[in-house]
Structure 1
Amino acid sequence: MFTESDLDYYCNVQHKLLSTGRDYLAACFNSNGSRSVGTHARGNVVSWVPSPKLNNKTFATESRGAEWALNTLMQFDSKVLWYGDQPEPVDIVRSYKNGRKRRASYTPDGVSFTSLGPIVYEAKTLSDVEKLLVKYPSDWKRLESNAVVYIPAKEAFMRLGLTHKVYIYKPEDYIYITNLDHILWARASLEFCSPESSEINKAFEMQFVLTLAVLQNQLKLSNQTPLIRAIDEGHIVVDLKDQLITDSENCLASTTHALLEHGKELRRSQLVYRKDLVNSKNLSLVPSLKGAEGALVRLEALNKGLSNRSTRRWKARIKAGEQLGLSPFQSLISNYHRCGNRKKNLNYKVQNFLNNYLLNSFIHRQGISEYRGFVDYQSLARDAHPEFSPVSHKTFTRHLSKIPPEVIAYAKGGNRMGNQMALPTDPEHRHLKAQTAWERAAIDHYCVDLYLVVYAKKDKIVAERPWLTLMVDLYTGKVLAFSISFKKPSRHSVAKVLRSCVRNHGSLPREIIFDRGAEFKSVYLASLLAHYSVILSLRPAGNPRYGGEVEGFFGEFKKLWLCQRSGNLANYKEARAVDGKKTPKKAAVLFPADFHRELKLFCAWRENACRGTGGHSAEILFEQSCKDYPYVSRTISYDAEFIIVTCVEAKKYTVDMQRGINVLGTWYSSPAMQLLLSKPRKNEVRLDPENPNLIFVKVCDQWEPFYSSEINAYSAKSPEHQLAEGMIKHEAANLKKKIRFEDDIDLARLVHEMDRVREEQEAPPILEFEMTESITEEQVEVFSKLKNTTVRPLNIRAWEA
C-alpha cells in the first residue's frame, strides 16, 4: 500500500519535484477523483474497478475502451507504484473552432507514480485521435515516433515539472487487454501455483507447440489457472495480442516466441478467416449472377468468331482491360449499376425549402403521417416560391427517405428512440463480450405480467403484481439468481438478488452491469460491491440496445410460461378487452411461494433447452467454464458478515425497554437491549431485506441482531415459504393497510345497517296507569316483617277437589 510517507519520499527525495508538482500530486493522492464520470454518457458503459494499487479504492473508467485499458495496463505494470483516476484539473490555453485561443479547465484521465517518475495520462481511442488531429491541428500533433501529444496539456504540466502523455487505444488491443485482465485475476488466486518448468518442458517434447487444453490434459491439471499463472511468470509463451487465453481449445502455447511463431504460421494458412482477409470489392470485378451470365454470352459470341458492331466494341473493352490487369471475363462485365443521371434537377430554391421543411418542421411533429406532411408542404411551398412548382409526392418521399432514421427518431422521440433507430456499430471495432462464466453479469427489474394472491378471505382474494429482479450471466445466459418483491425496485430488491446469488453459488460475478435507476446509483450498492471487490458498471441511459440478455429472459418467460398461468397479463390487448368480471386480477390463484417454485422450474428448463446457435446448453457451458476458470468469480461465504453488510439502512427507531423496537407492526427484541438503558432512545437500524423476523440495531459500536417472537418457527420453513413470508409481512405492509382500511369501512357499514334495522322495527307497547291510592308506611312495614319469618312445610294428607 502506497502511503503519504511514501509519497513524500517519492516527491522530495527520489525525484525532487517542484513544489507546485508536489502539491498537485498530493491533491490527486488525497482526493477521490475530481469529478464524477459518466454523467452524460450516451453510448459507453461507465465502470468503477477495484484496484489494489489504488489502496483498495476504485478506478473510474468512462468507457470500456481507452479508460478501461489504461486502468488494466497501470495495474499490470510492475513499475507503477500507485495510480488514480480523474486527477485535479489544471488551466490550459487551447484552440477553438474559430482559431482563437482561450483559457479553459482541463481534467486528465489518470495519473501514475512510476519508478521513472510521475506521468499524467489522457486516454483516447485511435478514431478520436485521428479526428482531433484534423479538427485541432494546432493543439494535437503526431511526432516522428508516431506518438501523439496534446500541446496545451503538455505545456501546462511541464510548468509543474510533470510529464503528460496521450495513451491511444487501438481496436486490435481488445484481445490484449482481456488477456491481461484474466492474468491479473488469476494472479490474485493464491490457491493455485504454476507447474514446474521441468514438467512443462517434458510436455513439449513430442510437439513444439500445443493448445492450452492439450497442455492441461498432459500436465493432468484440474483447471486452467496454473497455466495462466505460468504465462504470467514467463514459463509458457502465448501471443497475448492475437489469441485469447480463455479459449483453451484454440490458444497456442510454446516455450519460446520463435517456436510459437512457427506454429502460428503453420496454422494461419489453414484458417477459414483471419483479420484483414476480406474487404469490399467493386461489381466490375465480382459481378452479380445476371452480370456474369451476360459476360459469358459475350465471350461465347467472340469465341464463335462473330463480327459486328457489338463484337468490335467488346474486343476494344478487352484490350483496354488488359492494360488494367483485368481478364477478358472481367472486361466484359456490364456496368449497368453505374447507369442513370445522378445530377440534381431541382431548382436551388425549391430544394432548399424542401430540405428546410423536412429537417426543421416535419420530422419534429409527432403523429403526422407522410401524406399529411406532403399536403402541408404543398401549402407552404406554393406561398414560399410561387414561381416554381412544389415537388411531387414521389420526390417528397425520396428526400424524406434520405434522412437517416436516427435523426428522425431523435427529433420525434428523443434519446431513447434515437438510440433504438441508430445504425449498428462496426462489429470489427466492438469490444469483446464476456469469455467465461462469472466474468460479467447483468441485473434488471421486470413488473411481472401476473397477479399473485397477497391476502385471501373466505369470499374474496386480494392480488397484486410482483416485481422480478434477475441476475443473468452474460457469457452463458444462465440465470444466476432472482428475487421477487411486492415493492417497486429499490435497494431491497438489489440486496435480495445478491443474497440469492451467494446462497445458490457461494460467489458473485467479477463485474455486474446495471441500468441507471436510482437504486443502482445508490451509495449502498456502490459501497457493497466495493467491499467485495466487484466491478460496478452502468450502461447508458435511454439506450434500449443494452441489457438485451436480461430483457430476452423476460420476453421468453412471458411468452412461454406466464401466458399459460391464471391471472396473467401476457396479452395486454385481451386483458383490456374483457369486462370487469373476467379481469386477470380476479383470476389469480398463485401465492408467492408457488410463483417462486414455478420460476425455478422454468429457469432449470430454459438452461437445458436448445437455444441460440451454439452446440451446448447454457448449463453445460456454465459448468465447464466454472471448472476451467474458477478464479474469475468472487468467492463469498454466506455468513453473519455478509448478512449484516447486505442489510439495508433504515431510519432511526425508538426503543421501548419493555417490548423492543416496532418495525412495520412487528416487535423485535434482544438481550442486548439492556446496554441501551443510558443511551439515546432512537437508534440506527438495518432491515433484513428477506427475513421479516430479523433486524440489526447499532448497540455500542456493534450491530446486534434483534428477533421477533416468530424467529424459531421461521427457521423451520422451506426456502420458498421463508421468502414468501418476507414478501407478505414487510413488502405488502402498505397493501395490507389498505385491506384493513377497507375492512374497517365494511365494519362501519355493518354498524349503520344494524342502526337502520332497529329503526325500522316496531317499538314494544308501553302500559301506563295512575295510582288511585297511595301506599302507606304501615302497609310497607307488614311486608318487611315477613323477611325474617320462618317458613314451615305444610303436612297435607291428600288433595281433594
Structure 2
Amino acid sequence: MPLSVLYLIVPSYLAAAEIIKHATCEDIIEANRRYNLIQPYLEDALKAYPSSTIRRWRTQYQKALLIYGQGYLGLLPKHNNKGNRTPKIDSQTQEFMLDFIKEHYETPKQRRKIRVYESFVLACQTHDPPFKPPSRITFCHAIKQRSGHHQTRKRLGNRAAISEEPFYWELKQTTPRHGSRPFEIVHIDHTQIDIELVSSLESLTNCHIATNNSIHQNLGRPWATFMVDAYSRRILSVYLTFDEPSYRDCMMVIRICVARFGRFPQNIVVDNGKEFHSHYFEQLLASYTCTLKYRPPAHARFGSIVERLFGTANTQFIHELQGNTQIKRLHRKVTKSVSPERLAIWTLEELYSAFCEWAYSVYDQRLHPALGTSPCDAFVTGLATGGSRLHRRVAYDELFQILTLPAPDQRKRKVQPGKGVKIHNIYYWADVFRDPEIEKSMLWVRYDPWNAGIAYALAQGQWVKCISSYYQYFQGRSEKEIRLASAELNQRQRNYGRKLTINDRELVEFLNSKFAQEGAILKQRLRDTEHDKVHKIIQNNLITEPKLNLAEFAAEENNDCLGDDSTNEGKNCETISNLTAYITETLEYYGEF
C-alpha cells in the first residue's frame, strides 16, 4: 500500500471511531431506520424518483463512504450539534453566580435551592452595575454541576461526605486486600443482638428471688463480640454478654481463639472504641508480637468483613428466634401482645450454645458468596498454602490466662502486713506475703473480672494466686457488681456524713443486705449468674476438645497395616480410613498441618 494512501486512511479511521464513540442508542436506532429506507436506492432496486430527504440521506451516506470508508457514519443524526450551544449569560454574571452559590448555598445552613435563587435574583438587581439574572433552571444546573464530595462536606460535614470520597486504586491488582493466609489479618468488633433475653429459673433461685411472678424477668439485649479471619471469613471465636463492650470481651474472644486453634493473630483490626484503647489489651497483643491497627473513624468500609457479619448473624439466625426485636423498628405499631419483652423465652446460656453451633457449624460450612467456597474450606486451603507456622503457636495454659486478666488503675499494689494487697476495696492474701522482703513492697497485680474472690500478684518472679478474706461471699461476683455496690455504699455514707473509704467487711454486709436485692445491683447479679453459665460452657468445650496423640496413631496404623491376618484386612483398612478422616478433621479444626 502506498504511504500516501496510508496517511489518508489513519486519520479517517480515527475520526470514524470518534463518531461511533459519541453515538447514543437513540442515534443508532435512527441510523438503522434511515439505512433501511435508502438501501433500495443504493442498490438501484427501485427506479422511483426518491424524495429530497432520501436524496439527502443517500448523499450523506456516499460522502461518509468516501471520507471514512464507512457510509453508515453519515446516517448518524447529529442532534448534539444543533442549536446555539454557547452560554447565554456573560462571564461576569457567570462568575458572580458561582461565588454566590459558594457563599450562600454551600454552607451548614443547608438552604434550599429556590430560596438561594430568590436571594440571588435580588443580589443581581442591587448590584452595581446590575446583572440580568439567569433562569432558575440555569441556576439549579450550576449547583448540580458542583455537586459531589466537596459540596456535601460543606453542607453536611465530613462524615456525611465519606461515601462520596474519590476511589483510590490499589498499588497492585495482585495485592490481596484481606491478607494472603489465615490469621494474618483478624477483625474484632461488637454489636448488640436483636433479641430480648430472660433470666433462668436457676438464676432466680441462686439470687434468692421468689419465682412466682418473676420467672420471665427480662434482662435486656445481649452484646456479641466477633473475631473473624479476614482471609477466609471464618468466625474464629464469638462471645455473648449483657455488659456493654469492654476489655473483658476482647480478652475473652482472644482466649477462645487461642483455645480453639492454638494460634495468635498477626494483625488485629479494630475500630476506635474505648475498650480497644485499653492498656491491658495493648499489652497482651505486644506480648505476643501482634500488631494492632485502628480503622479510620466513621469509615465503616474498612471493617466491612465483620460489619457485614453482624447483619448475616441477625438475618440468618437471630431473626428466626422468638423474642427478636425486628418489630421495634416500627415504634408506633408495637403493642403489648407483640412486645419482644413479653415474648422473650431465651436465656443467655441457651442462646450462646445455639449461637456457637450456628457460627462454628452452619455458617462455617455454608457457601460464602465472596469466596465461592465455604469459610472452613477456604481456611483449610489457606493453612495448607501458607504453612503451619509453628513459631506462632500459643499454649493455652495458666500463664496465658493470667496475661488476659486486667490490672487495676495503678497496676501495682502495696502489700499490707497481715492483710495483703487491696484491689477494689477488697484485700487478697497469699502465704508468700509473709516473707519480710515482700511485706510493704509494691507488687504487680491482676484480678479476675468475673470472680472477685481471687486475684494474682507477681511475687518472687512468678504469679501467685491470692484469695480474698471473704472468699465465700465474693466468689462468683463480677467486678461490675462490686463497683455498683461500692458506689451505692459510698453514696449512702455520703448522705450520712460518714467517711468515704469503705472496707471489705462493709462491702460484704451491704451485698448480703436487702438493699442489694433490688435495682441495678440485683439485675447485675442476675446477669452475672447467666455469665457464669456461659463461662462454664466455654471451659467445658475447651476441656472436652479431642486431643490426638500423633505418635500413638502412627504406631497403631503401622501395626495394623503390617499384620498378616487376611481376615482382618478389610476391617483394618476400614479402621485406618476412619481414623484418617478423624485426624484430618481434627487437624483442620486446630489448624495443624
Normalised to the residue count of structure 1, the TM-score between the two structures is: 0.49
Whether 1:545 and 2:301 are equivalent positions in the alignment is: yes
Whole-Å separation in 2 of the counterparts to 1:344 and 1:290: 26
Structure 1 residue 646: deviation in Å?
2.4
Q: Tell whether 2:395 aligns with 1:637.
A: yes
1:628 equivalenced with 2:385 (yes/no): yes
1:608 corresponding residue in structure 2? 365
Match of 1:8 in 2: none
Q: Which has the higher contact order (CA 8 A, sep 6+)?
A: 2
User: What CA distance in whole angstroms lies between the structure 1 residues aligned with 2:232 and 2:152?
Assistant: 33
Structure-2 change in CA distance of 1:408 and 1:286 (3 Å): closer
What are the Cα deviations for residues 500-548 of structure 1, in whole angstroms up to 9, with x where unaligned?
Answer: 2111211122322222334434554444333323233222223232211
Q: Which residue in 2 is equivalent to 1:399? A: 142
Q: What is the Cα deviation at residue 481 of structure 1?
A: 1.6
Say yes or no: does 1:420 pair with 2:125: no
- Shift of residue 296, structure 1, vs aligned partner: 4.6
Structure 1 residues 689-768: aligned runs within 5 Å:
694-707=454-467, 729-734=478-483, 744=515
CA distances 1:662-705 after superposition (whole Å, capped 9, x unpaired): 65587654333333775227643213456665432122343222
- Partner Cα distance (1:316, 1:571) in 2: 69
- Equivalent residue runs for 1:657-668 within 5 Å: 663=423, 668=428
User: 1:443-481: CA deviations, max 9, x gaps?
Assistant: 222233444447744344362444332221112222112
Secondary structure at the aligned position of 1:648 is classed as coil
Q: Within 1, Cα distance between the matches of 2:108 and 2:291?
A: 42
Matches within 5 A, 1:446-525: 446-453=191-198, 456=204, 457-458=209-210, 459-460=213-214, 461=217, 463-525=219-281
Identical-residue share of aligned pairs (%) = 21
**For residues 257-276 of structure 1, what are the structure 2 equivalents within 5 Å?**
none
Deviations 1:70-125 (A, max 9, x none): xxxxxxxxxxxxxxxxxxxxxxxxxxxxxxxxxxxxxxxxxxxxxxxxxxxxxxxx
Match of 2:99 in 1: 356
Measure, in 2, the Cα distance between the counterparts of 1:644 and 1:336: 77
Structure 2 residue aligned with 1:432: 176
> Given the superposition, is the C-alpha separation of residues 580 and 646 from structure 1 closer, same or farther in structure 2, using an over 3 Å criterion?
same
C-alpha contact (below 8 Å) 2:20/2:73 kept by paired residues: yes
SS at match of 2:183: coil
Query: Residue 449 of structure 2 contacts residue 478 of structure 2 at CA under 8 Å; is this kept in 1?
Result: no
Q: Identify the residue that residue 304 of structure 1 maps to in structure 2.
A: 43
Query: Against the structure 1 CA distance between its residues 658 and 584, is the aligned structure 2 distance closer, same or farther, given a 3 Å change threshold?
Result: farther
- 2:542 matched residue in structure 1: none
Matched residue SS, 1:503: helix
Which residue of the partner structure matches residue 671 of structure 1? 431
User: In structure 1, how many angstroms separate the alpha carbons of the residues matched to 2:451 and 2:164?
Assistant: 44
| DSSP 3-state at the match of 2:236 | strand
Aligned residue among 397, 401, 407 for 1:649: 407
CA offsets per residue over residues 111-158 of structure 1, 9 Å max, x none?
xxxxxxxxxxxxxxxxxxxxxxxxxxxxxxxxxxxxxxxxxxxxxxxx
Q: Is the 8 A contact 1:294 1:333 kept in 2?
A: yes
CA 1:636/1:363 → structure 2, altered by over 3 Å: closer, same or farther? Answer: same
Within 2, Cα distance between the matches of 1:282 and 1:502?
Answer: 62
Q: How many residues align?
A: 452
Question: Equivalent residue for 2:87?
Answer: 344
Alignment-mate amino acid for residue 273 of structure 2: G
Q: Which structure has greater helix proportion? A: 2
Match of 1:319?
A: 66
The 2-side partners of 1:319 and 1:663 are apart by 95
Larger Rg: 1
3-state SS of 1:315 partner: helix
**Is contact 2:420–2:428 with CA below 8 Å preserved after alignment?**
yes
CA distance in 2, matches of 1:505, 1:313: 75
Q: Which blocks of at least 5 consecutive residues in structure 1 are unaligned? A: 1-280, 715-724, 749-801
Q: Is the 8 A contact 1:569 1:575 kept in 2?
A: no
Distance change in 2, residues 1:592/1:376 (3 Å)? farther
- For 1:747 and 1:611, the matched residues in 2 are separated by 47
Asked if the contact 1:558/1:570 (under 8 Å) is kept, the reply is no
Q: Tell me how far apart the structure 1 counterparts of residues 372 and 197 of structure 2 sit (CA, whole Å).
A: 37
Superposed, which structure 2 residues align to 1:126-145 within 5 Å? none
In structure 2, distance between residues paired with 1:381 and 1:362:
16
**Matched residue type, 1:304:** E
3-state secondary structure, aligned to 2:330? helix
- Show structure 2 runs of 5+ residues with no match: 1-16, 45-49, 489-509, 520-593
Contact 1:446–1:554 at 8 Å: present in 2 too?
A: yes
Give the whole-Å Cα distance in 2 for the aligned partners of 1:366 and 1:485.
43
Give 1:441 shift. 1.6
Map Cα deviations across residues 719-739 of structure 1 (whole Å, 9 max, x no partner): xxxxxx97x723454567799
1:408 aligns with 2:151: yes
CA separation of 1:585/1:527 partners in 2, compared to 1, >3 Å: closer, same or farther?
A: same
What per-residue deviation string (whole Å, max 9, x for no partner) do you get for residues 635-680 of structure 1?
2221233223322221345656667556558765433333377522
Q: Structure 1: how far apart are the matches of 2:170 and 2:85?
A: 32
Contact kept, 8 Å, 2:124 with 2:130, in 1: the verdict is no
Q: Do the aligned partners of 1:675 and 1:699 also contact (CA within 8 Å) in 2?
A: no
Cα distance, 1:563–1:314 mapped onto 2, change above 3 Å: same
What is the CA–CA distance in structure 1 between the aligned matches of 2:420 and 2:395, rounded to whole Å? 30
Q: Which amino acid aligns with 1:643?
A: Q
Instruction: Please state whether the residue corresponding to 1:546 is helix, strand or coil.
Output: helix
Task: Answer yes or no: is the 8 Å Cα contact 1:511–1:535 preserved in 2.
Answer: yes
The aligned amino acid for 1:602 is: W
Q: Please give the secondary structure, in 1, of the residue aligned with 2:233.
A: coil
- Deviation of 1:551 after TM superposition, in Å, equals 0.9
The amino acid that maps onto 1:671 is: D
Q: Distance in 2 between matches of 1:709 and 1:588?
A: 40
Distance 1:747 1:632, change over 3 A: closer
Partner of 1:441: 186
Contact (CA 8 Å) 1:514, 1:537: kept in 2 or not?
yes
Higher strand share: 1
| Distance change in 2, residues 1:321/1:283 (3 Å) | closer
Confirm whether residue 284 of structure 1 aligns to residue 20 of structure 2: yes
2: CA distance, partners of 1:631 / 1:293: 61
Give 1:614 deviation, angstroms.
4.5
